[in-house]
A and B are shown apart, each in its own frame.
Chain A
Amino acid sequence: MEADNTSVPMKILVALLFIFLLAPVILVVPLSFSGEQILSFPPESWSLRWYAALADNPKMISAFWTSLLLGAIVTAISLAVAIPAAYVIVRMRTLGSSFLYNLFTAPLLLPTIVLGLAILIVFASIGFLGTFPGLIIGHLVITLPYALRVLATTLGNLNLACEEAASTLGARPITVFRRVTLPMMAPGIVAATALCFLVSFDEVVITLFLTGPRLTTLPVELFHHVESRADPLVASVSVLLILLTLAVVMIVDRSVGLSKTFVK
């Protein structure tokens, strides 16, 4: 319900501030249908020429596929690595769990510009720059903390008694994990998947340090494009990016919504 004890001037102010907040994102939609040669708003003519230009731009398209593949691989590895780690940290509280948790989520505290430079210098010496494995590790450094955080929280909120019940019923630890713990973690796993994918797919700064002339991701390609010239091509890519993000969010909403229906 709307807050009704708010005065009209306050409502107008809030509306204006919301416009300020959302303007640049909303703006790219009309911009992408511009018929102009250069970036101008509002455009004087409308067309689909920049979507056509995008289809004819092999660099953007290959960068898109690189980002997609990278995001998928990074997400898969993040889950495979973070699920067991979260399990050990939350469930086998022995080895200085909170220290390890803080250590493994610490990369989130560093600015990406510093982290990117730090990784650049080390990767340069081992020949990882401009390589796909280098990009994967660079992205894992920031997706793993997110995954660990979400999964550890999920695991911590589960009813431990369910796992105990399974073991009293004769299930070995590995069976308990597979048949009870993992299915109960489903909403957290979906959330972690989406988060890892979006973080990897959107990452610019660290990636900027690690990409090379032959290997680049979509956000980095966009960055270089905006840096060098101002045309509406980026708007058409942006619209597609926003649609992709929207799709991921909706998938999460539906599946977490769905899983909520069977987890309590």
Chain B
Amino acid sequence: MMHQTILSGSPTVSDDRDVHLRLDGLTKTYGNSVAVSALDLSVPKGELVALLGPSGCGKTTTLRMVAGLIQPTGGRIVVGSNDITAMPTYRRDMGLVFQSYALFPHMTVAKNVAFGLEMRSVPKAEIERRVKEALAMVRLEALAERKPRELSGGQQQRVALARALVIRPSILLLDEPLSNLDAKLRDEMRNEIRDIQQSLGITAVFVTHDQVEALSMCDKVVVMRAGKLEQVGTPIDVYEHPATPFVASFVGRTNRLEGRARGDGTVDVGPMSVRVPGRPGGNVEIMVRPHRIRLLDADAAQGASGEGTNLLSGRLTRVTFVGDLLQYQVDVGGTEIVVEAASDHGRGIRSVGSPVALAWRVEDTMVFGRSA
């Protein structure tokens, strides 16, 4: 059985453009454990798609099957109209950028980049020209004769990118390419990879466990969990309309409340009543993102009340200053709710213990069915 996504309805990313890479029921099992379970996915030409999920969710296994480094147990991999499931790696024509860069330590930067072209018996003069071009693209012309170990992490990563792109692969695969870089470099490389991908118009699959990377760089995000698809959609889709509680909590931060829906648009959470969109029934999970909640003084609460707003009162238990954000922890009838607000020069910080009110729009409340 394949997993049915709730909101997008179809696991296909989009049908309005040519599908370039298609996975049909792709499966990989190791003995009794299932790494990837009957995965269906279509990637349109020229899109950058992120495979996002926690470690062990099967995203890297999927990518390695596409590259031919792992043989699938079942299913098909189709590029354009060719089934490449049984094709050996070296004939697949895919550029793969590794997490560990995997530069050849015994070759210079230029030799590393030239390797794929040599394998394709490209004439010498053309190799030289294309290596120059590729290194210019990643701004490393000056380091062509260096050995990989003489380069910084970011430079090595750019060589790896140039090496994968110089062969003009049909598809670019990126396996957690930024996870070994420090935070500042990561932001830079994110933009660089995105710019290059768009200027070349190359189809690319990007594996990451970092939601920020997935949301900020990619056309589509594929959220995976335990070898299965959880949701496929645009970054906005996935963030604003998560299909499952897992997606809601993995992509962005959320407050999670359990309760029982009455069927009239309200949900009982302990002694409180919360209004939600639609008229769900039964046991449900409610999620609200911390930055969607406004923190009000208890006495100012009445004015904020209204048809489209949830209003709860509680007591402030902790205030954390995180630089650009203020994080408040509020105890609401025994349940902890986190609220985030932009910090304004540290002004207006309320003191711990003071009574407060929480307000958020009904439409910002996410509801998911919950078994028993």
B350 in the interface, Cβ–Cβ < 8 Å? Answer: no
CB distance from B236 to the nearest CB of A (A): 33
Residues of B within 8 A of A171 (CB): 90, 115, 119
Which of A90-98, A130-138, A158-166 is the contact stretch? A158-166
* Contact yes or no, B96 A168, CB < 8 A: yes
Tell me how far the C-beta of A118 lies from the nearest C-beta in chain B, rounded to whole angstroms.
41
- Closest chain A residue, CB of each to CB of B105: A263
Q: Is the CB of B92 within 8 A of A166?
A: no
CB of B65, distance to nearest CB on chain A (Å) = 13
* Interchain nearest-CB distance for B174 vs A (Å): 12
A161:B100 contact, CB within 8 angstroms? yes
Chain A 39-80 near chain B by CB (<8 Å), digits 1 or 0: 000000000000000000000000000000000000000000
CA distance A186 to B106 in the complex (A): 10
Q: How far is the CA of A264 from the CA of B91 in the complex (A)?
A: 29
B106 touches A263 (CB 8 A): yes
Cβ proximity bits A163-177 to B, threshold 8 Å, 1 near / 0 not: 011111111110100
| Structural contact, A164 and B102, CB atoms closer than 8 A | yes
Q: How far is the CA of A169 from the CA of B160 in the complex (A)?
A: 11
**Contact, CB under 8 Å: A170 / B116:** yes
Residues of A in contact with B, size category: 20 to 34
Asked whether, in the complex, the Cβ of B167 is within 8 Å of the Cβ of A170, the reply is yes
Q: Is the CB of B119 within 8 A of A168?
A: no
Contacts of B160 in A (CB 8 A): 165
Chain B proximity of A167: nearest CB distance (Å): 4
User: CB of A179 within 8 A of chain B?
Assistant: yes
A180 to B104, Cβ gap below 8 A?
yes
Q: How far is the CA of A263 from the CA of B163 in the complex (A)?
A: 19
Does A84 count as interface, using CB distance less than 8 angstroms? Answer: no
Residue B120 interfacial (CB < 8 Å): yes
Residues on A with C-beta less than 8 A from B92 are 168
Residue positions of B touching A, CB distance < 8 A: 67-69, 88-96, 98-100, 102-106, 115-116, 119-120, 147, 149, 160, 163-164, 167, 173
Apart from A179-B115, A180-B104, list 12 A-B contacts with CB within 8 A: A164-B89, A165-B102, A165-B104, A165-B160, A167-B68, A167-B69, A167-B90, A168-B89, A169-B95, A171-B119, A186-B106, A264-B149
Q: Considering the complex of A and B, which 9 residue pairs feature the smallest CB-CB distances, nearest first?
A: A169-B116, A161-B102, A170-B119, A165-B102, A167-B89, A168-B96, A183-B106, A161-B98, A162-B102
